[in-house]
Amino acid sequence: MAEPGVRTTGRTGRMATAAVAVLAVGAVVVGVGLWRGWFADPSVSDPPRVRAASVRTVVGDLAAPWGLAFLPDGSALVTERDSRRILRVAADPSGVHTATEVARIDEATPEGEGGLLGIAVSPDHARDGWIYVYYTSARDNRIARLRLGETPQPVLTGIPRGSRTHNGGRIGFGPDGLLYAGTGDAGDRDASQDRSSLAGKILRMTPDGLPAPGNPFPGSPVYSYGHRNVQGLGWAADGTLYAAEFGQNHYDELNRITAGGNYGWPVVEGDSSDDRFVPPLATWATDEASPSGLAVVGDRAWLACLRGQRLYRIGLDGQRPESLLTREYGRLRHVAAAPDGSLWVLTSNRDGRGDPRDGDDRILRLVP
């Protein structure tokens, strides 16, 4: 892992040339050390730790919660990855909350990182009643919609399914009223650069699952490509889309998403001087981040981190990073802005990779 420092650029071409030279002289040990040095240091390292004004548990004893979305009445819908349940957490002014099962997605097939993943509420929910879910089936990853109590109706199928990892899964409606989805490369690195594949992409579609008008590649739902595994999506007040992305061994990323942008995977992990690829706003060492959920509030992005076990807050220019909840609640899966201005954070300690504590998993309510 790279030592803390400042971001540098132009590593991609140098890596290949220098690697050949190292191997030619057989300097294996020296080569390993140089290899680490060629990777640009993360732009965010050792940020100041700050405390939230207050943190309390909204509800506990959940099992690997993954997605969260708020209904017009202020209550929340939460997915559990492995149980395939959708839970409703009713809004309660007294602060006493309970989670009640309101649906189960029987077609979801939990395995590794797959299962019942993201959830989104239609912008016209008061009129149409639609809830959208992203889940792993036995054949693919897919997006379906349902009214609570009814059978899900697939709107987009054929998103490549990873055997155990890189299924993406975050969905959300943008300010434009269109549905966006972050997908993973499903273990096929080259698929991220293949615009005919839905793997390793951010997708943009109508509520019916059709390619959105004005997409950069006509007739395709692909909005941006060259991603490894996107599990965080968030919009600023001006409509700009931001995404959190898992790196492989070196760099997790916060990206500003542009229509048709190529974000470099697998050619680039992190920053690069190659102008074919959109550079990240910020990068983290993977053991300090592994960001899953993302919320944008005002001029700050909030990233819920799994391996890093913390909540990062950073400016939308990639500056002024801060760390909250650092190793206090274990793995953090998602963060979402609640209607009352607080943030709700999902822990993920019962996902097979965490160290569960009494009361896990839980939803935390945080006042910044």
Three-state SS letters, 183-250: CECCCCHHHHHCCCCCCCEEEEECCCCCECCCCCCCCCCEEEECCCEEEEEEECCCCCEEEEECCCCC
DSSP for 271-319 reads --S-TTSPPPSEEEEGGG--EEEEEEETTEEEEEETTTTEEEEEETTS-
CA 143 to chain centre: 16
**How many other CB atoms sit within 10 Å of the CB of residue 37?**
12
Task: Name the pLDDT band for 51 (thresholds 50, 70, 90).
Answer: very high
What's the confidence (pLDDT) of residue 38? 41
Query: Is residue 24 scored above 80 in pLDDT?
Result: no
Three-class secondary structure of residue 9 per DSSP: coil
CA atoms of 186 and 8, how far apart (whole Å): 29
For 211-247, the pLDDT digits (tens) are: 999 999 999 999 999 999 999 999 999 999 999 999 9
Contact predicate 321/313, CB 8 Å:
yes
CA atoms of 238 and 227, how far apart (whole Å): 24
Query: Is residue 2 scored above 50 in pLDDT?
Result: no
CA atoms of 167 and 229, how far apart (whole Å): 7
What's the confidence (pLDDT) of residue 368? 81
pTM for this structure? 0.89
What's the confidence (pLDDT) of residue 97? 86
- 31, two tokens: 């080569």
Those residues with Cβ within 8 angstroms of residue 76's Cβ, 6 or more apart along the chain or in another chain: 68, 69, 70, 88, 89, 91, 338, 344, 363
**How many other CB atoms sit within 10 Å of the CB of residue 210?**
12
Among 212, 153, 152, 151, which Cα is nearest to 181's? 212
For 29-50, the pLDDT digits (tens) are: 333 333 333 455 689 988 999 9
Share of the chain above pLDDT 70, in %: 88
CA atoms of 359 and 58, how far apart (whole Å): 11
Q: Is the dihedral of CA 335, 154, 222, 240 positive or negative?
A: negative
CA atoms of 115 and 104, how far apart (whole Å): 12
For 318-336, the pLDDT digits (tens) are: 999 999 999 999 999 999 9
For 163-211, the pLDDT digits (tens) are: 999 999 999 999 999 999 999 999 999 999 999 999 999 999 999 999 9
Unique residue bearing structure tokens 């697939």: 154
CA atoms of 13 and 274, how far apart (whole Å): 9
* Angle (CA) 181 185 186, round 5°: 105
